[in-house]
Structure 1
Amino acid sequence: MVVGSNILPKILVLSLKNDIGGSLIAQNTIFGWILSGPVAQPITSLSTQVIETMTDPLGDLLKKFWEQEEVSGAQTQTDEDTICEDLYRNTTYRRNDGRYVIKLPFKPESPNSMALGHSRLSAQQQYISIERNLEKKPDLQKIYAEVLEEYQTLEHIERTNAQEIIRDGKYFSFYLPHHAVIKPDSKTTKVRVVFNASKLFHSGLSLNDVLHTGPILQNDLMLVIIRWRLYKYVFNGDIEKMYRQIYVHKEDQDFQRILFRESPSGPVEDYKLKTVTFGVSCASYLAIRTLHQLPEDSKPKFPQVAKILVNETYVDDILSGGHDLNSTKTSVSQIIEVLKSAGYPLRKITANNRSLLNEIPETHLLDSEILQFHDTSTTKTLGIR
């Protein structure tokens, strides 16, 4: 035990013995006897350095451990969250084909004290610059054009006029710059077109500046995976183009305008994106909130689906299962049917038992030979191989 000299008098007891072992003195203390003095034979010594510190590193480490292990409580709803939820419930509806139509959650200050300015000219200059860069990469340019042409084929964009919408000196339209993001390891979408709603234009504000982001509804990834691993039989699937299966109210679509032309020699044309767009700050909230609304609308007929869509989904990935084959098969068929009713196709489906995949078209599977293991047979779910 190492003690400071300032507390030595406090631990001594009135008892002393001389000539211990021929040369040592023994002093009694409240902790027991201590020896001091010279020794005749050589001994191995231990050098100890004591440093006084004002911090409590052990306490800090314990505190961090407790905080890390703490089960998080329910999130407190903010005023912004309440506004977004009220707007969603009061304005969201389903079309005849079952797809949802939502409104963008504009802040109450918009457009009075937070007004957007003109954006088309700057967006056109940026588009032409990106187009020049794409010309140096013909393969990427071709894929990029095909992605935007797919938007037209699926009717996710609509051609509009080149005039920005102005009322009382305020702009009620906004042009989104866009660029390519390459995903070489993706089995399906190698190139994704990303729209930049955070771009500042003439007024010094972006579209994201005048929109509420919305509450965070995304599940904790670790909890989703842990729940998934508790099942004996598991399946996994990806909601294809999840954001783009949800439509935006017609009066809000002009805030999602883009510029595009199929050929550099043709005229630049104006379009408006008709669906929820990745890159708009509230897109994640709107997509997940709509996914949570679907089981509410389907609960009487499919009670099992609510648990899956609310608790066993991470953004557009479904990770669920069951403890016996029959209940798991029921979950697979019900989740596919409910998602399909809202225009959500479930694709890239995998499972750990072949019978769970028997009634699913091969084109909807991630890999038809996924359970025929080879040395190089791997797949990834949420980045985990």
Structure 2
Amino acid sequence: MPTAGNSLTIKDGTVILHDDWVLSRFTELRREVRSALSDTAQTVERVDWSDLRQLDSAGASLIAELLGSERLAQLAESDPELATERKGLLLTVAHATSTESSPPVPPSGLLHLLAVVGRWISGFARDQKLLTGFIGQTLTTILAMLPHPARWRLTSLVAHIQRTGLNALPIVALLTFLVGAVVAFLGATVLERFGATIYTVHLVTFAFLREFGVILAAILLAGRTASAYTAQLGSMKANQEIDALRASGLDPIEMLVVPRVLAMVISLPFLTFVGMISGIVGGAMVCLYSLDISITQFLSIIEREVPLNHFLVGLGKAPVFAFVVAVIGCLEGLKVSGSAESVGQHTTSSVVQSIFMVILLDAIAALFFMEMGW
């Protein structure tokens, strides 16, 4: 049975197109195409284009819907009577509307691993390049502010020192005290086998003066303060407050970043000192109650056998760690795209990157100081 309409006839496997197949008649033509699709299940063997007057991409898409993209491409390609320009249009639309594609070949295990590693290295290099540029911008802003005391934001600086340093003192002291006790207990357990429990004093003192005091304080600030910086600046970015500062002619780096960075650079050395003292006190408590080493003897060993350079090495790393952690926290906050989800993602990234950079820099510093004999 033939299927007929004003612009479309299907008879004996032949589709006959009439009149204009253009955008202005799209609704009418689509109704005829869908009616023809529901009324017939004949296999189309050829298309009669002789009565077709005008054709554009909208009409060609309806012909592709009627015949199927693959079948339209076959018929248009094999029809010698079809004009060249119409054949090109039909083939382009057929290829554009084709949903059939070869399934993607899953990468092999090795190729997938190499791709993942390559993406990670590329992302890491991009992040480090961005971090380096932001560090340079921050240092440039600080140097530009130094000769102009009127630009110093002392109120903001003091407020951030209180939040960063004073409010973090209890948790830093408690954590380092407990870690000092654990280090002393484990050291005594091992050294007891060799009859050298007295060297537990050296172990605890060296560990906290050179490494644990500054590392634990820096990691705590990375989780506590860097994440807060990211969340604060990220919320401001999401609320377009930073854009408002720029529109007002104010520099967000000078207004928001510099006080936070300087506050952490000032606070971390004091927190490191508190961490060193608390860790040593924790170790001293274990020595006193488990090893029968009196406080007087403990302090005498420190005074006699622990050089001052260990304290200076640990304290000297604190400003560097503080600067890197603060810059990462601020940078991640400024990278927020504007949604609450983005704030959460960059806050997590800030903590992970800060801790990673602290451990990386500490490892580099340890190798350097070892080679220098410090």
TM range, normalised to the smaller chain?
A: under 0.3
State the TM-score, normalized to the length of structure 2: 0.28
Greater helix proportion: 2
Answer with 1 or 2: which has the greater Rg.
2
Greater strand proportion: 1
